Amino acid sequence: MVLVLVSSALAGCTGDPDGGGTDEIDSDALQDLFDEHFQDFINNTTVTVNNHYHNNTTVVNNDYDTNNEYNNTTNVDGGEINNYNQYNGSGASDSIMQMFTVNWAHSDVQIIDYGSRIVTLNDTLQQTSGNPNLLYALIYEGNLIEFEDVNCEQFYNFAAISDNQWELYLEYTYGGWAGNEAYQLEDFWRQNAYYTNSNHPVNSNGETVRDQCPAFDGSSYEYYHPTVFEIELSMGEALDFLSLPHLDDIMLECDDGYSGSSSNGSVGGYLGGQANCTVSGIAEVRENIHYGRTYWDWESGSNNSSSNSDFIAPSHIDTSNIPDWWWIDSWYYYGGSDGHTFSYTPTEFAVYFTTYFVEVYEHDLE
């Protein structure tokens, strides 16, 4: 293109020296003409350069236009050339920082109410019908007395009664003399509630009464592990956490069977990339389970608010677990389901992480 311009500018200015013509041009005159017209060519020409950068997911087009009036200038051999960088790409480069917020509550966790859990036992000497809910049965003074559908809270209270108190109950209710039967009742409830040995009966899951009813030895804890957030990663996409609250664990599960765990929820390390994966944040909720005790005076009220208005049950206990025949002036109530839960993971927090576009490397072990 430059040669065409120069040739047209020199038309009519050259001649044949051998022909005797007078329009000869020497090298100095040719250089002067070239210098005069080349600068005009530069100043009136637009050059566009397309640079394409490729990765797995994006294409970035950078267009450089030398004729933009807003650009800075650089002098090159006395000529003025404008430098301009315009970004026309619509995708990300190779990484991006992202964030989200989480709101959750301890009440979202399905807390087990062990106080109302029905105790079951199989293959005990007390079974008369093969019913695992029938824990104990005896015949006294011609009466069949059965303890069926007993929950953990009731079992705990039955174990707190001495043989003398059982004797008073049987004799007062059914007459006779109940020394031997009262001792058997005390032994059954207490042995299974407070003591452990290989002879204790179990249920179909192999659980003893103490396994089914935590906190019989006093205050203890139960632990729950809810998922408080999940992040979905596509193949070729990995992440690195920048900011996290305290978590019990971070789980990675991928559709190619690969899985992993941080075990303590610490920040650091890349996750995913080789397949479609799910990253889960796991919290830990601790429940304080225990048995409290409430008392009442038999002379001013009974254990059942529906039968005597003088007795006002504490608002934090469920009096429906107290049997109608109960005559003791106190009751141990299960306190684990009254909101005594705790977690090191805050109920409101933000998560920041960076995602990277990666290419899976096919390695050869041979």
Q: Which segments in the chain show pLDDT lower than 50?
A: 1-15, 17, 22, 45-93, 126-127, 265-267, 299-310, 337-338
Q: What is the pLDDT of residue 5?
A: 40
Q: What is the pLDDT of residue 294?
A: 84
Q: What is the pLDDT of residue 128?
A: 53
Q: pLDDT tens digit string along 79-110?
A: 332 322 222 223 334 678 999 999 999 888 88
In order of their start, the domains of the chain are 1-45 (no CATH), 48-93 (no CATH), 96-111+221-287+343-357 (2.60.120), 118-212 (no CATH)
Q: What is the pLDDT of residue 2?
A: 41
Q: pLDDT tens digit string along 304-343?
A: 433 443 455 566 667 888 998 898 888 998 875 445 788 9
In angstroms, the CA 186 to CA 164 distance is: 9
Q: 12: alpha, beta or left, given left = phi > 0 and alpha = psi -120 to 50?
A: left
Q: What is the pLDDT of residue 23?
A: 53
Q: What is the pLDDT of residue 283?
A: 95
Q: What is the pLDDT of residue 196?
A: 76
> Distance from CA of residue 184 to its chain's centroid?
50
The full 3-state SS of the chain, as one line of letters, equals CHHHHHHHHHCCCCCCHHHCCCCCCCHHHHHHHHHHHHHHHHHCCCCEEEEEEECCCCEEEEEEECCCCCCEEEEECCEEEEECCEECCCCCCCEEEEEEEEECCHHHCCCCCHHHCECCCCCCCCCCCCCCCEEEEEEECCEEEEEECCEHHHHHHHHCCCHHHHHHHHHHHHCCCCHHHHHHHHHHHHHHHHCCCCCCCCCCCCCCHHHHCCCCCCCEEEEECCEEEEEEECCCEEEEEEECCCCCEEEEEECCCCEEECCCCCCCCCEECCCCEEEEEECCEEEEECEEEEECCCCCCCCCCCCCCCCCCCCCCCHHHCCCCCCCCEEEEECCCCCCEECCCCCEEEEEEEEEECCCCCCCCC
Count of residues for the chain? 366
Q: What is the pLDDT of residue 44?
A: 56
